[in-house]
């Protein structure tokens, strides 16, 4: 009887906790949607920050995120392939796997400070290249872990079949194993991209921000997330409304990318 009572109490408390958590989530989303949608105008997408728009910030944020992906995806995938296909429980593979797990949970601001020390402070100015490197470092552990885990799900029989047909190891990996796990790996890439597209802390120390449209990564570079942080602290109402609009747009971008990644993984299953 006591066990049944305890079970009901735990069930009630668990359900109540879930309801409270979801309630706060919907409260935040409702407030963000209401204030964000009412603050969005056509000029929001056609003008730069200096003119009261977000065009240069959106272009700048996606530019850094895409360049970071160009760096992180090949390195992350190759590291994941090494861990699963070549490491075979070696000490080096164990060290890389552990470091990847640690980096995945490392605070983003720590990564920002590290990149600041090696790519900003020595050159005496903030720059977009440092922002790209910081975002790439954040992406790599997620891609490494995802690639490693997805390749582990590929049946050993596929590898053996490729070897029986006379295929070399690298061809078997690229043409059979990676192709079999491509949906899961792609999902990991999308989720890592969704994470960095909404990061602020590392960019505060690396790329900073620019109110004007520019594609010159050697200087301060436009960033949507940093601008939200700055605009929210300004005293005028117009700046705060622009911050709400930018927050809503960024939230929708992250939400869509996450949904695409999860839908692709569910479809594969």
Q: What is the mean pLDDT of the chain?
A: 88
Q: Is residue 26 part of a domain?
A: no
Residue (of 108, 87, 96, 62) closest to 253 by Cα position: 62
Q: Which two three-digit tokens encode residue 131?
A: 């922002």
Per-residue pLDDT of 215-254, as tens digits, reads: 999 999 999 999 998 888 888 888 889 999 999 999 999 8
- The label of the residue with tokens 């070897």 reads 163
**CA–CA separation, 100 and 138 (whole Å):** 10
Q: Is residue 219 part of a domain?
A: yes
Please give the radius of gyration of the chain, using alpha carbons only, rounded to the nearest integer: 22
> Total domain count for the chain?
1
Q: Is residue 37 part of a domain?
A: no
- Torsion angle (degrees, nearest 10) of CA 252, 254, 257, 262: -110
Q: How far is C-alpha 107 from the geometric centre of its chain's CA atoms?
A: 13
Q: Is residue 10 part of a domain?
A: no
Q: Which two three-digit tokens encode residue 170?
A: 């690298």
Per-residue pLDDT of 77-97, as tens digits, reads: 999 999 988 887 788 888 888
pLDDT of residue 96: 87
Per-residue pLDDT of 83-139, as tens digits, reads: 988 887 788 888 888 888 888 888 899 999 999 999 999 988 999 999 999 999 999
On whether the CB atoms of residues 268 and 181 are closer than 8 A, the answer is: no
**CA–CA separation, 151 and 169 (whole Å):** 14
**CA–CA separation, 62 and 64 (whole Å):** 5
Q: Is residue 263 part of a domain?
A: yes
Q: Is residue 3 part of a domain?
A: no
Of the pLDDT bands very low, low, confident and very high (cuts 50, 70, 90), residue 55 is very high
Q: Return the CATH number at 188.
A: 1.10.3720.10
On whether the CB atoms of residues 229 and 135 are closer than 8 A, the answer is: no
**CA–CA separation, 56 and 230 (whole Å):** 15
Q: Is residue 22 part of a domain?
A: no
Domain containing residue 207: 53-268
Q: Which two three-digit tokens encode residue 244?
A: 């709400």
Q: Is residue 164 part of a domain?
A: yes
């Amino acid at each position: 009887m006591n066990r049944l009572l305890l079970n009901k109490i735990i069930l009630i408390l668990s359900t109540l906790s879930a309801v409270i958590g979801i309630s706060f989530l919907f409260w935040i989303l409702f407030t963000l949607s209401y204030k964000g949608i009412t603050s969005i105008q056509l000029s929001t997408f056609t003008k730069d920050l200096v003119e009261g728009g977000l065009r240069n910030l959106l272009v700048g944020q996606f530019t850094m995120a895409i360049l970071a992906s160009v760096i992180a995806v090949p390195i992350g995938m190759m590291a994941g392939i090494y861990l699963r296909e070549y490491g075979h429980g070696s000490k080096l593979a164990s060290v890389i796997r552990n470091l990847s797990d640690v980096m995945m949970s490392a605070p983003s601001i720590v990564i920002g400070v590290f990149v600041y020390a090696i790519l900003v402070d020595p050159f005496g100015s903030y720059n977009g290249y440092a922002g790209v490197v910081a975002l790439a470092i954040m992406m790599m552990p997620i891609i490494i872990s995802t690639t490693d885990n997805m390749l582990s799900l590929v049946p050993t029989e596929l590898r053996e079949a490729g070897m029986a047909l006379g295929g070399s190891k690298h061809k078997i990996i690229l043409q059979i194993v990676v192709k079999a796990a491509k949906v899961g790996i792609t999902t990991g890439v999308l989720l890592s991209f969704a994470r960095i597209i909404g990061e602020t802390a590392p960019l505060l120390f690396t790329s900073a921000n620019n109110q004007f449209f520019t594609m010159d990564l050697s200087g301060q570079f436009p960033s949507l997330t940093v601008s939200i942080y700055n605009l929210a602290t300004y005293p005028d109402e117009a700046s705060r409304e622009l911050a709400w609009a930018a927050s809503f747009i960024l939230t929708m971008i992250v939400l869509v990318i996450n949904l695409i990644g999860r839908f692709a993984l569910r479809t594969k299953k």
